[in-house]
Amino acid sequence: QMKLTGASFPKIMGCQFHLGIFLFFILTRAQAPVECDRHLNVTLVASDRGTVAAVRRETSIVDNEYIVTFTGYYTSDAREGFISAALQGIKGWAIRSRNNPGQQYPSDFSLVELPSGSTATVAIAALKHHVLVKTVTVERRVTLAVQSDPDIEQNQYEFTRKVHSSSTDDIAVFPGRHWYIGRRLLRAIPKQVTSALQADVLWSMGYTGRGVKVAIFDTGLPRNHPHFRHIKERTDWTDEQTLEDSLGHGTFVAGVIASQSECLGFTPDAELHVFRVFTNAQVSYTSWFLDAFNYAILKKVHVLNLSIGGPDFQDQPFVDKVWELTANGVVMVSAIGNDGPLYGTLNNPADMMDVIGVGGINFEDQIASFSSRGMTTWELPWGYGRVKPDIVTYGAGVRGSGLRGGCRPLSGTSVASPVVAGAVTLLFSAISHDLINPASMKQSLMSSAKRLYDNSANMFEQGHGKLDLLRAYHQLKSYQPHASLSPSYLDMTECQYMWPYCSQPLFYGARPLIVNVTILNGMAVSGWILGKPLWQPYMQHNGNLLEVSFTYPSRLWPWSGYITILVGVSQEGSTFEGIAQGHITLTVASRLTPDQELLTSSVQFSIKAMITPTPLRPHRLLWDQFHSLRYPAGYFPRDNLLMKNDPLDWNGDHIHTNFKDMYSNLRSYGYYLDVLGHPLTCFDAADYGTLLLMDTEDEFFPEERQKLVKDVDEKGLSLIVFADWYNTSVMNKIKFYDENTRQWWTPNTGGANIPSLNELLAPWGISFTDEVLEGEVHMATVDSGLHYASGTGIRSFPANGFVVPVHTLNDQGTEVLTGSTRLVHDIPVLGLYQSPHVGGGRIAIFGDSNCLDNSHLRKSCFWLLPILLSFTSTGKLPSLPFSESYRQAPTLLPTRMEGNQLHLYSHVLDNENPQTYQSIPACPRIMWARPHPLNQSAPSSPRRGLFTLPVAVDPVNLPDFHGNIGLSGNYNWWVIGAVCLCVVVVVIMRRRKRGVIRLMRIPIV
C-alpha cells in the first residue's frame, strides 16, 4: 500500500487519482531490455542525503577550576561574600569573571580557581561545609566535534556506475549499502521535511509558531539571514564576543525549526532565541552552558533544542541544570547521538528521563545507521538501562538553511532533533499553553508515534516509533493530565521490537529479569507513587508462576521518575514451559500547590513472559558486569589502540550493548546468559557451568579471589577469561596534556587490568604478559581466523595445560613507543587447563577481547567462544594447533602504574586510599511482592496504544512561502487527476505497442 503525504492532498482525491499516480511511478521505473554487450548505467541520485553531521560533546576536566553551586540565586557580590567566608585563611584562590549577557542577573553558581595540591583539597572541603553551598564540582571543557561519516559521504553526490548485464533482473551492488532484492516501489525523497510530516495541514489551520519562544543552543546565526522572520535575540556565551556563525551548524538547525523560505522550517513565526555557546574552534565550557541555561529560564522560553551530545552523564552541574530547566516548564529536545549502529552509545542529555531524546531514520522509514542505540548505561553495573531514544524522525538527507542563504542537505541526529523541536514548537502554537508541559508533550509524542513498518527495529533503536505530527496534535488537543509508563508493557513474545527481552525466556533459578520503566507525570512537576504497587497475576494464564519485585524513588521529579521491575520464576515453574501473564498497578499522585486537591492517575504495566524449564548447568553462563569500568568519568582507553579518533571506552561492556552480537551468537548455540552486577561472592557456583570474565578493568576483592578458587577446584565451575593489553610505558605514552584545560590525562588502566587478572589466576600458575600484540591469527585446523587487536600474550601456564601459539604478530607496544616495526614469533595467546581436583572445573584464557566486541570489530572470533565453551563443559580438547611444550616467558609480571587514579572510579578500592579495599558490598536480597491474583482472562496482547483518527480539515489555501498561489476546491484536483490518468494511459498504450513493459529489481537508495 502506498501513501502519498507530500503536500497534504485534500480528502476529495478519488481512487482514480491514486491509481494514476501508482501506475505512473511503476512505469517511470520500467526499463527497456538490456543487450548482452551493452552497459547498464545505474544512476543513484543521493545528493539530498547530505553529509552526516556527527556532532558530539566531548568533555575534559579543567585543572584547578571548580563550579561552586549554591542553594539559591544570589548576586555576584553575595556569592563572593559566601566564598570568602568559607575560604578564610586560604590563599591563592580567585573567582573567575564571566563576561556574558547573564552577568547582571543573580546566579546559582560561581567559577572559582583554587591552588593545586593539598590546598585545593582543604579549600574544597571548606566550601562544601558552607551552609549555602550545594556542590563543588570540576569545571569541564566541552568540545563540539562536528565530523562527517566518510562511508556516507561517498554516496553523497550523483554518480554513475557501469554494470555488464544481460537482463534487467540483475542488480548493481554497491559497497556499504543494504539492498532489497525484489520489486519495490521507491519513495521519493521530499524536498521539504515539513511536507513529509504534514506540517502544512496545521499551517492551513493558522498555526505557524506565533507566540512561542524557541531557544537554539548551537554555533550562532548570521545577522540578517534571509530565511528568518522573527529573530528575537542573539546572545554570545563564549569568550569570542561575536554573534556570527562561522560553522553553519547553528544556522542549519535554526532553519529546520523556523525558516520562512526555500527550505521551509516548521514554525516561521516563532520567536527565535539564539544562544551561541560554541567558539569557532568548536569549544565550550560547562559554566558557559550553565549561564546560558539560567538566561533561558529567565527569558521563559518554551522549547529548547540541543543538537549536541556526549557520553558524559556524570557532568553533574550540567545534568542538574537540565533538570531545573524542565522543572521550569521548558520542553527540551536533544539528539540521541551519531554513534550507531553500535548499542550503548546514547548521548547526554538526550538520555535523561525528562528530555525528549530523538533518533534518526531515512525517508524509507528505516533506522539510520548513524543513529545511536540504547540502552542507557547510567545504571550499570548494578541495574539495567532505560529505553531510549524516545522517538525517531527524519534525519538523513534533510534540507536546511545554508550559512549565506540557499539550502543544503545534512544527515545526523543533530538534524532529527530540530525536526522534532520544530514540530513541538508548532504544537505549542496550536494548543493552549496551559495543557503543555515537558511530560504532556513527551507523552503525546510517544503515544502518537507509529512503529516502523518492517518490524525489524527494536525498542532500543526506534523508541516508541516515528514522529506523527497530526496524531500528536490530536492527542494534545484532547489531553487530560495523567501518568504514563515507558515502556508501557513487557511482552517477551513480541520480537523484534521487544529485543532483548524476547531473546531469552525466563526460568527458575535464573537471576531476575530487570525492566527499568520510566514514569512520566503530566499532572505536575513533582509527584510520588501512592501506596505500594500491586502485583496482580492472571491465574488462568499461569501468572502464579511469576514472582515480581519493584523499587522506586520516594519522589518523581521533574515530571518523571522510574520504577525498576524484577521478574523471576517461582519454584513451581521449574519444569513449566509456556506463557505466564499478569500486570502491575500503581498510582501516581501530585499536588500543584500544597493546599490544592490531590491529583491521582493509575497505570498498569502488563507482563507476558516466556518460561522454559531450568536448563542444564553446562548451558548456563554467568557474565561478570561488576568489574567493568568505563568513561565517564575516568580515562579508560579503548581496547584497540589503533582507534585514535575514539580513544575512550564508554559503551558499557554489556551483553546488550557492545557485546550484543556475541550474545546473539551464544543464544543461537542454546546457551543461557545471566548478568552479575555484584561481586563474585553473590552467586552460587552450582547453578552455572561457566563464568565469563571479559575485558575487566577493576580490581577483585580478596574474598572474591578466595571464593573463585573454591568454585573452580571444588564445585566444578569453569572459567573463561578474555583479556586485553596492559603496559605502563604505553599507558604513559598515550597520556596527553590538554593546553586548554592544563591537565594531564593518563589512562587509569590498560584495555584490561592485567595485574588484577594475574592475581586472580595466580593459584593455578596462570598469568599474562605486558606485551601489546596485533595481527592476523590463523589456526591451522580451524577454518576461521581472527584479528588480534592490541591483545596480550600468555606469560605462564601450568605444565599440564595446553597453549596455542601464534607464529607471527606485530609488537604494537614497540610501535607505539618508538614508531618502529618489530615482529614477535611463537607467542602463546590461548590456553586451556583442567583442574586436577576431583570434580574440578576448567579454565580457558585468551589474550584479546576485541574480536568479540562490536565497538571496533574488524574480524570476529564468534566461532572461538563456542569451541572454548565446549571444552569447559565437556573437557574434550578441540582441534586446535596446541604447542607440545611451553616454557614460562622470561618477562616480569606486569605491575600497576604508580600514581594512577583507578581508585577514584573503582567499585573495589577505597576511593580515598588506593592501597586499601572498600568493605565488600552485601549481596542483594530480593523481597518478592505479595500477589493479588485475578481470576479473569488476560488481554490477548499487553500492548497499550492510543489510536486516533487523522485530523480532517476543510480544503483551504495553504500558507504561501514561495510566492505561489495555493490550490483550493474540488475542481482543480479532479482536473489534475484526469490529466495524469490520461498521460498514464497514453504511456501504457505506447509501451505495450513496443512490447517493452518490464519490471526490474530496483535497489533502495
Given phi > 0 = left and psi -120 to 50 = alpha, else beta, which region is 461? alpha
Cell of 860: 570476529
Nearest to 484 by CA among 446, 511, 540: 446
Element (H, E) at 585: strand 578-590
**Inter-CA distances, 419 with 157, 307, 411, 745, 747, Å:** 23, 10, 12, 37, 39
In sequence order, the β-bridge partners of residue 569 are 546
Give me the phi and psi of 710, to 5 degrees please: -65, -40
Give dist(CA 396, CA 388) in Å, integer. Answer: 19
Nearest to 388 by CA among 404, 376, 401, 370: 376
Give dist(CA 997, CA 991) in Å, integer. Answer: 6
If you ran DSSP here, which 8-state letter would residue 466 be given?
B
Specify whether the CB–CB gap between 907 and 381 falls below 8 A. yes
Give dist(CA 877, CA 429) in Å, integer. Answer: 70
Residues 6+ apart with CB under 8 A from 312: 57, 59, 140, 318, 348, 631, 632, 633
If you ran DSSP here, which 8-state letter would residue 204 be given?
H
249 is catalytic: yes
Cell of 689: 557451568
Give dist(CA 322, CA 330) in Å, integer. Answer: 9
SS3 829: strand
Catalytic residue among 225, 249, 302, 903: 249
Cell of 607: 507482563
Catalytic residue among 60, 414, 628, 835: 414
Q: Which amino acid is present at 412?
A: G
**Inter-CA distances, 281 with 143, 219, 247, 284, 738, Å:** 8, 10, 9, 9, 14
In sequence order, the β-bridge partners of residue 809 are 824
Burial of 11 (0-12, 13-18, 19+ CB in 10 A): exposed
SS3 242: coil
Burial of 170 (0-12, 13-18, 19+ CB in 10 A): middle
414 is catalytic: yes
Specify whether the CB–CB gap between 919 and 470 falls below 8 A. no
Q: Known catalytic residues?
A: 218, 249, 414
